[in-house]
């Protein structure tokens, strides 16, 4: 998911629009009464029909169902639209609107839902190293959760995208922790920790984090950077991910990939029609009112890539 240094006119416009929206508090984090969240509607949205309780089994089931039914996607920043983080706005989008979101949206809303059920949970931030070159110094652009249960602490993440863990990871366990799709491990490095994934026979670094207390303003500022910075991969690329029990679907611009739990994968390049169909059906994203803007944005993205290729071949 490397971002080209070439910046399109759209990117500059998106940055200006985002700055204006931020001034108008469209990105402002607002505390919400947890009891006001639509818990029953959320449980129905993710297909969870049991009575929620504070337990590891319930936590694992909620995480799996959430990832299966609510896609990771970045349509708002890709189209220059605001990304508000208050819980009611997130409920409108993720539950009532049939949309998905990225890490701050997913994990902030999931944290609010867990707290409403009665879980002890807090948000952390991390630095993403996945698919980055050696020596890269990333910002704190990712959010994850630390959930405390009677038997210990667990890392929970429903918003990392293509390699989101599909089950809670025991925080104090340093060995491999299998899930239905991949195995993960949590490593300690003095003053911080890392989450790694086993791909083939090699452990690969996803992100690093520490236990520093994070305030709402920390998520708000990181969210603005991710949604609006002209070099952000979420401004410059169309991304969608959905995890099912035996496979992951991923979309990067026009490249659609299906990865199975046994390591097999299939890829294809999609034209506009099939791409919108895949977003709507495979990723289960409600595209009402977004089809035309998406097609226009993808056309500009394709033209930009063609210009880059011409310059490289010239």
Would you call 277 a catalytic residue per the annotation?
no
The residue whose two tokens read 């630390």 is 146
Among candidate residues 10, 18, 65, 103, the one labeled active-site is: 103
Would you call 157 a catalytic residue per the annotation?
yes
Q: Partners of 185 in the beta sheet? A: 196
Among candidate residues 65, 66, 142, 229, the one labeled active-site is: 142
CB burial of 12-37 (b: ≥16 within 10 Å; e: otherwise) equals eebbebbeebbeeebbbbeebeeeeb
Distance CA 140, CA 138 (A): 7
Which residue intervals of the chain are DSSP H helices?
A: 9-23, 39-45, 56-69, 75-78, 87-91, 103-117, 216-228, 233-236, 272-277, 291-313
Among candidate residues 66, 106, 157, 228, the one labeled active-site is: 157
Are 159 and 102 within 8 A, CB to CB? yes
Would you call 103 a catalytic residue per the annotation?
yes
Name the residues annotated as catalytic: 103, 142, 157
């Amino acid at each position: 998911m490397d971002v080209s240094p070439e910046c399109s006119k759209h990117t500059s416009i998106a940055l200006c629009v985002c700055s204006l929206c931020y001034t108008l508090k469209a990105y402002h984090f607002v505390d919400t009464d947890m009891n006001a969240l639509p818990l029953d509607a959320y449980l129905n949205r993710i297909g969870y029909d049991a009575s929620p309780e504070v337990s590891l089994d319930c936590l694992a089931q909620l995480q799996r169902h959430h990832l299966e039914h609510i896609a990771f996607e970045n349509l708002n920043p890709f189209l220059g639209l605001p990304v508000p983080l208050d819980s009611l706005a997130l409920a409108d989008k993720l539950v009532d609107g049939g949309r998905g979101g990225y890490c701050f949206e997913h994990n902030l809303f999931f944290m609010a839902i867990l707290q409403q059920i009665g879980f002890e949970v807090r948000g952390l931030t991390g630095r993403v190293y996945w698919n980055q070159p050696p020596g890269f110094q990333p910002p704190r652009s990712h959010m994850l959760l630390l959930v405390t249960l009677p038997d210990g602490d667990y890392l929970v993440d429903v918003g990392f995208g293509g390699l989101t863990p599909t089950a809670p990871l025991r925080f104090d366990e340093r060995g491999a922790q299998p899930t239905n799709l991949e195995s993960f491990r949590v490593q300690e490095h003095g003053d911080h920790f890392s989450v790694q994934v086993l791909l083939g026979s090699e452990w690969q670094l996803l992100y690093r984090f520490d236990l520093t207390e994070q305030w709402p303003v920390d998520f708000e500022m990181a969210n603005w950077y991710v949604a609006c910075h002209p070099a952000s991969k979420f401004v410059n690329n169309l991304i969608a991910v959905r995890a099912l029990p035996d496979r992951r679907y991923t979309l990067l611009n026009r490249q659609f990939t299906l990865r199975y739990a046994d390591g097999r994968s299939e890829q294809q390049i999609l034209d506009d029609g099939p791409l919108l169909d895949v977003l709507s059906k495979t990723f289960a994203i409600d595209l009402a009112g977004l089809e035309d803007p998406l097609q226009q944005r993808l056309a500009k993205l394709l033209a930009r890539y063609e210009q880059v290729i011409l310059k490289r071949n010239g």
